[in-house]
Structures are given as structure tokens and as C-alpha cells.
Amino acid sequence: MALLIALINIVGWGLIPLTVKGSPASQIAGMGIGASASALVIYLFTRPAFDTATWVVAFIAGMLWAIGQMGQFISFTRIGVSGTIPLSAGFQLVGNSLIGVLIFGEWPTTIAKIIGFVALALVVIGIVLSSRSDDKESGDANAKNIAFLLVTTIGFWIYSSFPKLIAKDINPNVNGLDYILPEMLGVLVGTMIYVVGSHQTKVYQNKMLWRNSIAGIEFGVGTLFYLFSVQQNGVTDAFIYSQLCSVISTFGGIWFLHESKSKREMIYIVVGLIFIVGGSILTGFAK
């Protein structure tokens, strides 16, 4: 049962890049609606405790998540799903791990630090391999696209660190169900700010919005089952399992979205993913 719960989380998150269509603004707007709707349903059935400080922090975390997700959607149009997802997964793993070490005191022993930084080195190698392209003329443009994705991933880093902040400094007894609704409402507001600020409010009148809201539901359901996976499998194993969603998204982009890759680029992507997933598994031993 524990592995089935983890599988639902993996599939829910992995299908998001394969579900969204249209412009990045339409994609992020639909995500906000679907995610907040699914969180509201979850909240009505679970009725978790209300804690003002937790809600405020979770709401801000959700808004910052929208920055990271917007960066992904824009990157889909620039370097494709299969090019974006391995890079994004690697950037998230490296950033989250460093925040955990530097701010929250994770990897406390020397052995843990050695294992952890070896794992991050594997991830960095995977990132480099995944970003390789046969098109030498597009090198500068590709570098700019990768830099853009890295900068926007900061939103994911901060979003991922907020639950630890809540448990450490606000309410040690809080669980994921207590903040999933304010977090998803923050996602909704964050996406609306982007759409309004970029003068693309017409996307709310487009039928594609409702298809993209399905991706938001996938995100909400995937997040719910990630929280269940944490309870059943533990934080470390649940996080490692969740990284497998990048495999679904990457190869889904190639097979179902028909993103063209040369034989050499396919080898780079496969080997890069092996390094990234292998590095994420190795971080589980850095305790």
C-alpha cells in the first residue's frame, strides 16, 4: 500500500507537463484554478486545524511556487518538456539539499556531508549531461534558457523549505493537511498576479484554461498523496520516490509530445536522468 501511494504521487506530478496546452499564461492560470479547487475539496473532507501563522506562511509559499512553475512552463516553450524536466529536477534537488544543510542543519555528521555532497556531484553531472545539445549554433541561447530556469527555480526552493520552517519555528505539531489549502490558495493568487501583471487576462476566457485546470488537479492530488507517502514511507524515501516523476515527464515529452531528439541527445538524457535519480537516492543515506 505504501508503494501504491507513492506511485499515485509520481504519476500525478509526472503527468502535469503532458497535460498542459496553450500559452504559458494559460497553463499557469489553469494550474492555479485546478490546484486550489482540489485543495478546497480535500479541506472540506479533512477539516484540519486552523492556525493563522501556519496559514500565512503556507500562503506565501504557494505564491513563490508559482514563480518556479511559471519558469518551467516558459522553459517548455524554449527547450521542450524533455529538456526542461531533468534540469529542473536537478536544480531543485541541489538547491533544496543545500538549504537543508546550511539553514536547517541537515547532514550533521562528517560522513553524512561526504555522502550528501557526492550525491549532489552526481546530480550536477546529470544536469550537465541532460543539457547537452547537438545544435552547436544555439549554445548561447541554450545557456540563457538554462540560466532562466535556474533563477526561477528559486521559487521552488523557498516553497519546499517552508514546511520545514513551519515545523521548526511555528508549530512542530503541524502536518501537511493543515497547510495544503492555504498553500494552494497562494498558488492561485500567485498565478493571478502573473497573468494580470503580464496583461494576459484573456486566457481566463479561453476554453484551454479548463484543460489546464486538470493539470492543477493532478498537482493537488499528487501533493496529497506525497503527504500520505511521507507518513507511510518517511520523508527521505517519499522524496526519493517523488523524483521518479521526472522520468515520466521527460520520456512522455519525447514519446507523446513528439519532441525530436538525436540518438546522441537521447543517450545524454538517459544517462543524465540516471545520475539525477541516483544522486537523489544517495541523498537518502546522508543522515
Q: Tell me which amino acid residue 21 is.
A: K
Q: How many domains does the chain have?
A: 1
C-alpha distances in Å from residue 193, one per residue of 150, 199, 252: 21, 10, 30
**Distance (Å, rounded) from C-alpha 67 to C-alpha 277?**
24
C-alpha distances in Å from residue 121, one per residue of 19, 97, 124, 238, 265: 32, 12, 5, 21, 21
DSSP state of 50: P
- What per-residue confidence (pLDDT) applies to 162? 79
- Cβ neighbour number for residue 206 with a 10 Å cutoff: 16
Q: Which cell goes with 34?
A: 485546478
- Cβ neighbour number for residue 26 with a 10 Å cutoff: 23
Contact yes or no for 229/12 (Cβ under 8 A): no
Report which of 165, 133, 178 is spatially closest to residue 268, judged by C-alpha positions: 133
Report which of 153, 162, 161 is spatially closest to residue 100, judged by C-alpha positions: 161
- What per-residue confidence (pLDDT) applies to 136? 59
CB-based contacts of 72: which residues, under 8 Å, 6+ apart? Answer: 17, 84, 85, 88, 149, 152
Q: Tell me which amino acid residue 12 is.
A: G
- What per-residue confidence (pLDDT) applies to 133? 77
Phi-psi region of 105 (alpha: psi -120 to 50; beta: other; left: phi over 0): left
Taking only the tens place, the pLDDT of each residue in 241-254 is: 888 899 999 999 99
Domain of 234? 2-283
Task: Look at the pTM and tell me if it is higher than 0.95.
Answer: no
When the pLDDT of each residue in the chain is averaged and rounded to a whole number, the result is 89
Q: Which cell goes with 259?
A: 519532441
Please list the ranges in the chain whose pLDDT falls under 50: none
**Distance (Å, rounded) from C-alpha 57 to C-alpha 55?**
6
